[in-house]
Amino acid sequence: MIGGRKVLVTGCNGLLGAWLCEALIQSGAAVVGLDREQRAGSRIRELTGKIDLVSGDIADFELVLRVLNEFDIEFIYHLAAQAVVGPAARNPLSTFRSNIQGTWNILEAARTLRSNSPLLQGIIVASSDKAYGDQDNLPYREDAPMQGRFPYDVSKSCADLIARSYYYSYNLPVCVTRCGNLYGAGDLNWSRIVPGTIMHVLRGERPIIRSDGTPVRDYLYVKDAVGAFLKLSERMFEDSSTHGEAFNISNETPVSVLEIVQEILELLARTDLKPIIEARSSLEIGRQYLSSAKIRSRIGWSPEYDLKRGLAETIEWYRVNLARQSAGQAEELAEHRV
d(CA 232, CA 245): 11
Among candidate residues 272, 224, 268, 264, the one with its CA nearest the CA of residue 248:
224
pLDDT at 84: 72
Residue 94 burial (CB count, 10 A): 14
Whether the bond between 139 and the residue before it is cis, its omega within 30 degrees of 0, is yes
d(CA 190, CA 145): 31
**Per residue in 295-311, pLDDT tens?**
999 999 999 999 999 99
Q: What is the DSSP string of 279-302?
A: ----S--SB--B--HHHHHHT---
pLDDT at 284: 75
Question: Which residues belong to the active site?
Answer: 152
pLDDT at 325: 67
Does the reported pTM lie above 0.85?
yes
Q: Which are the contacts of 327, defined by CB distance < 8 A and separation ≥ 6?
A: none
d(CA 164, CA 243): 9
Put residue 306 in one of left, alpha, beta given phi > 0 → left and psi -120 to 50 → alpha.
Answer: beta
At the top level of CATH, the class of 6-183+219-252+289-305 is: alpha beta
pLDDT at 327: 43
Q: Which are the contacts of 32, defined by CB distance < 8 A and separation ≥ 6?
A: 6, 7, 8, 9, 51, 52, 53, 54, 67, 71, 73
Largest CA distance in the chain: 66
Element (H, E) at 271: none
Mean pLDDT per 10-residue interval, the chain, length 338 residues: 94 96 98 87 86 96 96 97 76 91 98 86 96 95 95 94 98 97 94 95 96 95 98 96 98 97 98 94 84 98 98 96 60 34
pLDDT at 282: 67
d(CA 108, CA 319): 43
Domains of the chain, by residue range, sit at 6-183+219-252+289-305
Asked if residues 22 and 2 have their Cβ atoms less than 8 Å apart, the reply is no
pLDDT at 98: 93
Q: How many Cα atoms are found within 13 Å in the side-chain-facing hemisphere of 127?
A: 30
pLDDT at 180: 93
Among candidate residues 72, 290, 320, the one with its CA nearest the CA of residue 177:
290
Q: What is the DSSP string of 223-249?
A: HHHHHHHHHHHHHHHH-GGGTT-EEEE
Distances (CA, A) of 37 to 57, 130, 190, 269, 308: 9, 25, 17, 36, 32
d(CA 291, CA 307): 17
**Per residue in 31-61, pLDDT tens?**
999 998 777 777 888 898 999 999 999 999 9
